[in-house]
Amino acid sequence: TQLLEQSPQFLSIQEGENLTVYCNSSSVFSSLQWYRQEPGEGPVLLVTVVTGGEVKKLKRLTFQFGDARKDSSLHITAAQPGDTGLYLCAGARTGGFKTIFGAGTRLFVKA
């Protein structure tokens, strides 16, 4: 059982569409991070959220941390083919020493 559940697992959309991916847990996290991974490369950090209810924007990407710090969402506006990749959420639990990852959402944006 994954401590961090991501949904959907796979998403194929047309360029210009909007989408939201979710990261859920029954555990509280001191912070959540979102990474993007492209084939043949390691994950690259997009954002870290640390405060319950926090919203961060990175150009067309909007990240939200749930009020209870158990879940997060990533919303992409007007998706582009360059957004294609594996989106991973990752969290550090309070008092823990490791960052754990969800299984990822594989996004494919068609031109």
Partner 1 sequence: ETGVTQSPTHLIKTRGQQVTLRCSSQSGHNTVSWYQQALGQGPQFIFQYYREEENGRGNFPPRFSGLQFPNYSSELNVNALELDDSALYLCASSLDRSYSPLHFGNGTRLTVT
Q: Please tell me whether residue 88 binds partner 1 under the rule CB under 8 A.
A: yes
Q: Which of residues 28-47 bind partner 1 (CB under 8 A)?
A: 30-31, 33, 35, 40-45
CB of 10 to partner 1, least distance (A): 10
Tokens representing residue 38 in the block: 């492209």
Tokens representing residue 72 in the block: 């997060």
Shorter beta-carbon distance to partner 1: residue 44 or 78? 44
Q: Please tell me whether residue 49 binds partner 1 under the rule CB under 8 A.
A: no
In the set 1, 59, 82, 97, which binds partner 1 (CB under 8 A)? 97
42 Rama class: left (phi>0) / alpha (psi -120 to 50) / beta: beta
Question: Is residue 69 within a helix (H) or strand (E), and if so which, with residue range?
Answer: none
Q: Please tell me whether residue 20 binds partner 1 under the rule CB under 8 A.
A: no
Other C-beta atoms closer than 10 Å to the C-beta of 32 total: 27
Contact 24, 5 (CB under 8 A): yes
Where do contacts with partner 1 occur on this chain (CB under 8 A)? 2, 4, 6, 30-31, 33, 35, 40-45, 48, 88, 90, 92, 97-104
